[in-house]
Amino acid sequence: MEIFVCDNYEEMSFKVAREISRQLTVKPTSVLGLATGETPKGMYRKLVKMYKQKIVDFSEAKTFNLDEFYPIKRDNKHSFKNYMQKRLFEEVNLRPKNCFIPDGEAENPNKECQRYEKELSHSGQIDLQVLGIGENGHIGFNEPGVEWSSVTQLVELEDKTVKKEFNTTSGVPNKAITMGVKDIMGANRIVLLASGEGKKNVVERALKGPITQEVPASILQLHPKVKVYLDKEAA
């Protein structure tokens, strides 16, 4: 595991965007695993800028998002589909048919998990998986206690996770469809990013503490190719 401490959020965002653009330069048909949330917003801004400067080309790439709330309308302002449309999909030359994200409107969530898992396996290995980390150690929406062998599944979210997104726990989705730990660990390379003082504790537990299901990100210690990008506060 390589750990890079960046001076600030901007530098961290640039370095992770550069990882993605290098990946696409070496292999234009790459399969990218993508995260949402606050942390990668800067990374997406940098990527869009690089695309506009013709430094990066997404035309042959495929993307798989880690997760989506369930149930949620695609055009809900909190949906990850909406997040991705605005921040990346509508801004670069990714082909819509190559952008995969679990469907928060699916009638049958378990079937949707199976469908997503199938799409993932048809695409072959994820070349580069981008991850954020929750304050409770979750990766994707794999909350503490998750099975290491999990694949895409419907999960119940911790109240804190729901509150962080919606500011309340009532009348909002408390479930999500998430790629499993096994899917994430199957990626060829992983880049984890974390920013801010609030992540300091969990970063230390995940990277230096025991490997335990109580801190799902701790499993990354066993992956052979992980790069961690932190800003000073998270480090």
Q: Is 103 a catalytic residue?
A: no
Using alpha carbons, select from 58, 82, 80 the residue that is nearest to residue 69: 80
How many whole angstroms separate alpha carbon 202 and alpha carbon 200? 6
Cβ atoms of 234 and 3 closer than 8 Å = no
State yes or no: residue 231 binds ligand F6R (CB under 6 A): no
The residue whose two tokens read 């997503």 is 116
Tell me which of 67, 117, 127, 143 binds ligand F6R, using CB under 6 A.
Answer: 67
- 119 is a catalytic site residue: no
33 lies in the site for ligand F6R, by CB under 6 A? no
Q: Which residue in 76, 136, 174, 188 is the catalytic one?
A: 136
Return the DSSP state at 198: G
With CB under 6 A as the contact rule, the residue among 35, 146, 203, 228 that binds ligand F6R is 35
What is the number of residues in the chain? 235
Q: Are strands 226-231 and 2-6 parallel, antiparallel or unpaired?
A: parallel
Q: Catalytic site residue 138?
A: yes
CA distance 111 to 117: 10
User: Of 24 and 194, which has the nearer Cβ to ligand F6R?
Assistant: 194
Q: Please identify which residue in 33, 42, 109, 132 interacts with ligand F6R, judged by CB under 6 A.
A: 132
Residue 81 interacting with ligand F6R (CB under 6 A):
no
Q: Which of 196, 199, 188, 198 is nearest to 227 (CA)?
A: 188
Which candidate in 19, 67, 68, 117 is catalytic?
A: 67
Restricted to residues 137-176, the positions that interact with ligand F6R (CB under 6 A) are 138-141
Catalytic annotation present for 76: no
Q: Is the Cβ of residue 36 or residue 98 nearer to ligand F6R in the bound state?
A: 36
Q: In the set 50, 56, 61, 66, which binds ligand F6R (CB under 6 A)?
A: 66
Establish if 205 lies at the interface with ligand F6R (CB under 6 A): no
DSSP assigned state of 158: P
For the record, the structure tokens of 47 come out as: 């990527």
Q: How far apart are CA 33 and CA 191, in angstroms?
A: 10
Catalytic residue set: 67, 136, 138, 143
User: Where along the sequence are the contacts to ligand F6R (CB under 6 A)?
Assistant: 35-39, 66-67, 132-134, 138-141
